[in-house]
């Protein structure tokens, strides 16, 4: 599956077929999911400012997308849960409220966490609500026991993070 984005749409290519989805529609969908789940977009922990020049949010986003895609393609629920937890670790960084110390942080050494580093990235502030909602979605997916539902969550998480990464300058 390949994702391409312009400023107003997201095209998902599957087997040569293109499905056009609007980015604002995805944002609304995530907001609705958050409301239905009873979640709020609260602070995700206490973060220090990232060190100057010491983070690469786009690299962290690419790494998180790889793990979301790994989750979507996993054959066991445990692997789906594990890869989605890796995504949460990339999103929140080691100081995040939901950071799982016992799990891998594939973004270690790439920055302080996507939610931390996005604040100072050019154009990043405009994507904070989407990334916070994506973090919440990944966390919910990591706790699911239905493999089909968890894989679908992983696909959505990957698509949203791809869109964010492609939009940053």
- Burial of 15-30, coded b for 16+ CB within 10 Å and e otherwise, reads eeeeeebebeebbebb
What is the pLDDT, as a whole number, of residue 29?
53
Q: Is it the case that residue 139 has pLDDT exceeding 60?
A: yes
SS3 20: strand
- How far, in Å, CA of 140 to CA of 153, rounded? 8
Mean local confidence (pLDDT), 90-108: 96
Residues 6+ apart with CB under 8 A from 111: 50, 54, 55, 56, 57, 59, 60, 93, 117
What is the pLDDT, as a whole number, of residue 24?
54
**Quick one: pLDDT band at residue 22, thresholds 50, 70, 90?**
low
**Quick one: pLDDT band at residue 94, thresholds 50, 70, 90?**
very high
**Quick one: pLDDT band at residue 169, thresholds 50, 70, 90?**
confident
Q: Is it the case that residue 4 has pLDDT exceeding 90?
A: no
**Quick one: pLDDT band at residue 25, thresholds 50, 70, 90?**
low
Domain ranges (residues) in the chain: 43-167
């Amino acid at each position: 599956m390949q994702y391409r984005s312009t400023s107003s749409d997201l095209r998902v290519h599957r087997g040569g077929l293109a499905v056009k989805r609007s980015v604002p529609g995805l944002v609304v969908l995530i907001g609705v999911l958050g409301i239905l789940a009873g979640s709020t977009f609260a602070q995700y922990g206490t973060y220090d400012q990232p060190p100057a020049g010491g983070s690469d949010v786009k690299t962290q986003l690419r790494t998180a997308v790889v793990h979301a895609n790994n989750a979507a393609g996993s054959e066991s629920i445990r692997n789906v849960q594990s890869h989605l937890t890796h995504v949460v670790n990339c999103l929140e960084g080691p100081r995040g409220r939901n950071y799982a110390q016992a799990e891998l942080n594939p973004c270690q050494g790439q920055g302080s966490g996507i939610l931390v580093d996005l604040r100072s990235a050019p154009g990043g502030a405009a994507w904070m609500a989407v990334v916070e909602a994506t973090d919440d979605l990944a966390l919910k997916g990591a706790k699911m026991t239905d493999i089909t539902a968890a894989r679908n969550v992983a696909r959505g998480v990957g698509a949203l993070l791809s869109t964010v990464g492609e939009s940053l300058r």
